[in-house]
Structure 1
């Protein structure tokens, strides 16, 4: 109670992720359009009034980061960077390609830097639903130096890790993961989890720790024996895409440092799952309560397939402490504000 959802921006082209520049410009990645736009609030009324087309021709652009005078972008096939200075409204010059990635299958490439800026982490999803023998950079979180050198696998067995973020005040990486299909309506749960250096999270051989996938029963017992159980399980096929920790002060105290999760919604389930923003409270850097609904209403007519009018993607904390939500079907960004209990 006490929250209001309003329109923040519309007439976008399937917006998916957001990122603030130091000057307050809001960068928005439009993956299917292959473009990045900037929303600027010139009069500081909390609503953008100017829009700039920053860059186009960006195959599946999803991840964004600003680091040490560069704007980094995660395209499906590569990580690139443009020289960037605060206030730029258009990409400067030709981008520098740092890393090439195989294409096909899961297409998002998300970027986060360590707090000291010495390492860059990139999430890359699998090519397949649950086949073994894939390129090791896939279904993994990869570590690089900021110039793309020094590659190593940081964590593996993550079928489709999408969001990538640091828990506030720490170097602990958290990710949202879309798990496998074809095991029925209720398997396998999606999840969010902290990511351990060298950790293996089960895919494709097992799930929720050492529960074997029937297709791979008996394979790689060495890996399955050490498969990590994720921190927070989410109903299967919900499509856990966005993840952000609430660092604002506009919401009540119970939301501080808690996790907001964008559940993009199912496509292969008899009753729709997801299509909502969920919340998990945290204390001392760990989940401290069950998954709960925060914003719903994208599903009509009792959850039958084909009845959703939008799909939430990424929640993101606005500078004034409200919560922004991209919707890549309605082509809008929504804003959630707290107005006091009632």
Structure 2
């Protein structure tokens, strides 16, 4: 029973760090359905409502918020304006001709807009001053598949400006064909932007594998201070080991490191992270294998044969099972990464539905790889028992030039702003 006591203590410690936000402001005509609990030192305001499944978001060089709307399959541009000590929307328009169900990114110079959908990554010329976009061009295609995980996380690099990163998840919970890189799934690849604008690149046959054995990467980012590439991963559901159901607290979600793109040598490039044969432990005692710690890889039931889990790469940090991290973004000085946890469907009681902070030092998390307390509370639903149907569900994150953190909630069609990040 020791692991249960530790889990309860961990939850109690997190709860103690939250404080109720009783005087949050909202922009004119914007009414909040929920009253989040805020971590110490943070406050929030509600920026916008009525969006259609807002997913990933980004801030352009003129300070406008661009939103990938999964419900409309297009990009929405919110022109922002400071009003006292909060930020509000001055105008709200849809960028015609754009095509996305999840991913959005801007080039290093801010003049090219990239979007992603099930099948492709598209590029558009973009004017941040006017919001005008040119006609789209596919730069990467060949990513369609049946089954689950239709999102394609994308990210661009300031350290390697001609590179775009594209993640493609598995096509079902246990995708046995992803034991080979030729499957083109459960991996992150890098592509040359300039090459893609000249001739569309097929995802399966082009680009370079940055990391594979990654079940479903939904968030990718670059540390602006140190150049490292980081990803957040949604791990396997309905886990069983030797016929025993261990899915409620295993496997761990994880934050993984993939090196610096423009480094002379990158020892992380091309590493295998284990999926589908090996998954990381969150509650080692519940797994019941001697010697496991948080993050240790092990082989569950119904996966392809694996004799080398100890030789696969695992995450740099690990998180509660099924909390579904969907995005990660760094502060400008690289001292913290913020993670949006969309929340569980494969767990009872529900968990996640929050934004958390992980502290960094010199390009690396402060916490040890096996830590269960690396997450610091930022913003959480006041009543997680009402989730997933009656709460906000964080998806996308973006910082503006003033250090304000924007958070999208797809199921409620909202954008929040967090101050104090």
Q: TM-score of the superposition, structure 2-length normalised?
A: 0.72
SS at match of 2:176: coil
Which residue of the partner structure matches residue 326 of structure 2? Answer: 241
* Pairwise CA distance, 1:226: 2.4
Q: What is the alpha-carbon distance in structure 2 between the residues aligned to residue 210 and residue 294 of structure 1?
A: 29
Counterparts of residues 289-300 of structure 1 (less than 5 Å): 289=367, 290-297=374-381, 299-300=383-384
Q: TM-score of the superposition, structure 1-length normalised?
A: 0.88
The structure where helix makes up a greater share of residues is: 2
Structure 2 residue runs without a partner (length 5+): 1-39, 240-246, 259-267, 281-295, 368-373
8 Å CA contact retained: 1:277, 1:296 = yes
8 Å CA contact retained: 2:174, 2:303 = no
* Pairwise CA distance, 1:298: 5.3
Structure 1 residue runs without a partner (length 5+): 249-255
Which residue of the partner structure matches residue 253 of structure 1? Answer: none
Asked if 1:20 corresponds to 2:59, the answer is yes
SS at match of 1:5: strand
* Pairwise CA distance, 1:304: 6.2
* Pairwise CA distance, 1:142: 0.8
* Pairwise CA distance, 1:84: 2.1
Q: Would you say how many aligned residue pairs link Structure 1 and Structure 2?
A: 327
User: Of the candidates 290, 307, 328, which is equivalent to residue 221 of structure 1?
Assistant: 307
8 Å CA contact retained: 1:65, 1:111 = no
Q: What is the alpha-carbon distance in structure 2 between the residues aligned to residue 116 and residue 241 of structure 1?
A: 24
Asked if 1:268 corresponds to 2:346, the answer is yes
Which residue of the partner structure matches residue 10 of structure 2? Answer: none
8 Å CA contact retained: 1:14, 1:327 = yes
Q: What is the alpha-carbon distance in structure 2 between the residues aligned to residue 306 and residue 43 of structure 1?
A: 32
8 Å CA contact retained: 1:10, 1:331 = yes
- The structure with the largest alpha-carbon Rg is 2
User: Of the candidates 298, 308, 312, which is equivalent to residue 211 of structure 1?
Assistant: 298
SS at match of 1:50: strand
Counterparts of residues 1-342 of structure 1 (less than 5 Å): 1-41=40-80, 46-55=87-96, 58-67=99-108, 69-93=111-135, 95-100=136-141, 101-104=143-146, 105-114=148-157, 115-134=159-178, 136-146=183-193, 147-148=195-196, 149=201, 150-183=206-239, 184-195=247-258, 196-208=268-280, 209-216=296-303, 219-221=305-307, 224-247=309-332, 257-289=335-367, 290-297=374-381, 299-300=383-384, 303=385, 306=388, 308-338=390-420
Q: What is the alpha-carbon distance in structure 1 between the residues aligned to residue 406 and residue 388 of structure 2?
A: 25
Which 10-residue stretch deviates more, 259-268 or 24-33?
24-33
SS at match of 1:37: strand
SS at match of 1:49: strand
* 1:92-140 residue CA offsets vs partner (Å, 9 max, x unmatched): 23x1111111233212212223313132211111111112114632110
User: What is the root-mean-square deviation in Å for CA atoms of aligned residues?
Assistant: 2.3
* Pairwise CA distance, 1:307: 5.6
Q: What is the alpha-carbon distance in structure 2 between the residues aligned to residue 141 and residue 106 of structure 1?
A: 14
